[in-house]
Amino acid sequence: MSTPVLSVVVTIVDGGETLERCLKALDRQDEPPRLEILVPFDESIATVSSLAQHFPTIAFLSMGAVPTDRPTQSAAGQHELFDRRRAAGLAAATGELIAILEDRGVPRAGWARQVVDVHARLPPGVIGGAIENGRDRLLHWAVYLCDFGRYQLPFEEGSRDYVSDVNICYKRRALESTRELWATRYHETTVHWALQRAGEVLYLHPAMVVDQMRGSLRLQDLLRERVGWGRLFAYTRAREMTWARRMMFALLVPFLPAILLLRVVRGQVAKRRALAPLARAWPIMLLLLIAWSLGESVGYLTAKP
């Protein structure tokens, strides 16, 4: 069998119908390059065996039992499983280009071809793509605008401080240079900061598009999720900070919700998109950002995930 041009690691987050939707989209790509699709799973996921029968060309990678530092029922424990699944997929990938998707992100029909073409034209080793909202519901808009508003179309291609591991592709050289950082657990920020320090550019391109398709949402679950994820984000930063710098960031965190909300508003006004959903969703967004900031503050204070 010839070496794939593009390996795609699909991170199971929701599983079930959400995962099936994502895999169908990958399986039906227009003019696809030679593809290798990898789906790492651990024993906490019950629905993979039936899906494997429907997608015989997709590699489902069993990880067995995966221990976590935090309880798997918690948002932090769940995120750790996501990170370890990504790491297992990256380690198994054989393509010269290696992409990461989440099962919540459904790639559009020409996504794989666009990924390969964009990488062929451009030198950066890290190229992220656009993320659109696929659910026209209030809570979905609130989460989407908080998490992915900066990646909503339209935007000009070019270098960025951040690109998202929900829709990203690496040249192999970039991943290999940071292997020790993601060998057991992939942290997007840790890997990307190391690449930037080495002179690598994080590039954002509008041709690579996925649609974010989360399932049903409850506000209380989202608030717990934000606290856990905010704490994890701060932990990854705190590992590289002095105690004094950690305390300074913890003291500044109370100002974050307003700053982040204003940043989203400014971005959407500039894009002239989703202004009506933004007008309805901003109170919920503020709650989500407060929860995130609370978690981030704890992460800086404790330096623990």
CA 157/CA 129 separation, integer angstroms: 9
| pLDDT (0 to 100) of residue 132 | 99
Note the pLDDT of residue 106: 98
- Model confidence over 260-297: pLDDT tens digits? 999 999 999 999 999 999 999 999 999 999 999 999 99
Per-residue model confidence (pLDDT) at position 6: 99
Which residues of the chain form beta strands (DSSP E)?
6-11, 35-41, 59-62, 97-102, 105-107, 126-133, 158-159, 167-171, 202-212
10 with 23: CB under 8 angstroms? Answer: yes
CA distance 231 to 226: 8
Residues of the chain with pLDDT under 70: 1
What pLDDT does 75 receive?
Answer: 80
- The identity of residue 212, as a single letter, is Q
The per-residue pLDDT for 129 is 99
pLDDT at 170 (0 to 100): 99
- Report the alpha-carbon distance of residue 301 to residue 95 in Å, rounded: 41
Options 1.10.3720.10, 3.30.2080.10, 3.90.550.10, 3.90.1300.10; which CATH number does 6-212 get? Answer: 3.90.550.10
Write out the residue limits of the CATH 3.90.550.10 domain(s) in the chain. Answer: 6-212
- Give pLDDT, residue 1: 57
Sequential DSSP letters for 99-151: EEEETTEEE-TTHHHHHHHHHHH---SEEEEEEEE---SHHHHHHHHHHHGGG
Instruction: Give bridge partners of residue 62 from the DSSP assignment.
Output: 41
User: Residue written as tokens 């297992």?
Assistant: 88
* Per-residue model confidence (pLDDT) at position 180: 97
pLDDT tens digits for range 64-96: 999 888 888 888 889 899 999 999 999 999 999
d(CA 213, CA 19): 10
Nearest to 171 by CA among 7, 2, 3, 1: 7
**pLDDT at 72 (0 to 100):** 83
